[in-house]
Amino acid sequence: MARIQRLADDLVLIDTDYQRSPESIAVYLLLGDRPALIETGPASTVETVLQGVRAAGLDPRDLQAAAVTHIHLDHAGGAGTLAQRFPHLQVYVHPIGAPHLADPSRLLTSARRLYGDALETLFGQILPVPADRVHVVKDGDVLPLGSRRMKALETPGHASHHHAYLDEASGDLFTGDAAGVAMPGSRYVGPPTPPPDLDFAAWRRSIARMRAVHPTRLLLTHFGPHTWVEDLLTQLQGWLDARERFAAEIAGNGWGEHEVSARLVEMVAAEMEQVRGSAPPIGFEAVMPLRNNVVGLIHYASRLSRQAPSQR
C-alpha cells in the first residue's frame, strides 16, 4: 500500500518509495475540480503513485493534469507512462523541457552518461508524451490544478528548465529542486548539483525570487513540507556559495573525479555537523547521488577554466 500524507483538505503527498527508499521522492496530488499531480516521479514508480491516488479516494482515471517542475527523470520520468495510460491527461512543462517530453531520446542519452546500465533499473522505461498533450508553461502563467490556481515561477540554477509552482492563496510553494533536498526531521538542506546546466548565479536569483513571494510552506520533491522557510533558503544559499568556491578550486587545481569525491564527502560531513538535528548523509544518497554532484561540479569547473580571466 502506498504511503500518503494529507497536507490539506485538497492536497495529498504520495511517497513513491523510490528504490524502496521511503521519503525520497514525493508526488503531490491536488484534489478538486481538476484533479492533478505536481511531479510524476520516475516511470519505475508509476504504479505506486497510482496506488497513492486511489488511497486518497480518487480514481486515477479522473486525473486531468500533471505539472512537472523540470524534466529530470526523478521528477518527470513517469509523465509519458501516465499520458499513454490516460489519454485525456494534459502535461505542463517549461518551454526548454517540452521537446524532451515529446521526444525523450536526447534526454535519455544525457542521462545514460551518468547512470549507464542502471538507467532503466532506476527510472524505468521512459515513454514519450504525445506532443499534442505537452503544454508549454511560461514564467507567470497560472494553471488550474485541483481546486487551486498555481502560478509558475521561473527558478533556474539547478536546471535551466525549472519552474516552482506557487499557490498564492495558501502560500504553498512547490519547489522541485530549487529549494534543495531536505529530509523530514532534518534541518540540513543539501544542494543537488548535477550536470549539465548548473548555474550558481541563476540559482541565487531563484532563491531571492522564492523569498520575495513570501511562501508559508515549501513543498519539496525531496522531500515533503517544510515551514522553516527563511532558515532553509538561507542555509541553502550558504552551501551553494561554498560549492561555487569549491568549483573554482577544482578549476584551479585540475582535480579529477576521485579527488573531488573525497573532498565533497568531507565538505558535506562538516556541513551536517554544523546543523543540529540533521539526518545522516546516507539519507540523501538515493536522491542526491554523490557522483551526480561531483560530475556536475567538475562540468561547471570546466566551464570556468574555458572562460577568459576577465569573465570570471
**Tens-digit pLDDT profile for residues 54-66:** 999 999 999 999 9
Which of the two residues, 274 and 307, has the higher pLDDT score?
Answer: 274
* Candidate from 92-101, 175-184, 284-293 with smallest mean pLDDT: 284-293
Amino acid 281: pLDDT: 57
Nine-digit cell string for 165: 509552482
Residue 47, CA atoms < 13 Å, CB-side half-sphere:
4
Nine-digit cell string for 288: 542526491
Please give the model's pTM, rounded to 2 decimal places. Answer: 0.95
Query: What's the average model confidence in pLDDT over 36-45?
Result: 98
Tell me which residue has cell 518551454. 95
Alpha carbons 137 and 124: distance in angstroms, whole number: 26
Bridge-based pairing state of the strands 36-38 and 26-30: antiparallel
pLDDT digits 0-9 by tens, 235-258: 999 999 999 999 999 999 999 999
Closest CA relative to residue 70, chosen from 260, 168, 202, 187: 202
CATH number for the region 155-312 comes to 3.60.15.10
Query: What's the average model confidence in pLDDT over 120-146?
Result: 97
Fill in the DSSP letter of residue 181: B
Q: What share of the chain is helix, strand, coil (3-state, %, to 5)?
A: 45, 20, 35
pLDDT digits 0-9 by tens, 13-40: 999 999 999 999 999 999 999 999 999 9
CATH number for the region 1-154 comes to 3.60.15.10
Asked whether residue 220 carries a pLDDT value surpassing 70, the answer given is: yes
Amino acid 176: pLDDT: 98
Amino acid 162: pLDDT: 98
Q: Where in the chain is the domain with CATH 3.60.15.10?
A: 1-154, 155-312
Tell me which residue has cell 499557490. 167
Class of residue 159 by CB neighbours under 10 A (exposed 0-12, middle 13-18, buried 19+): buried
pLDDT digits 0-9 by tens, 73-99: 999 999 999 999 999 999 999 999 999
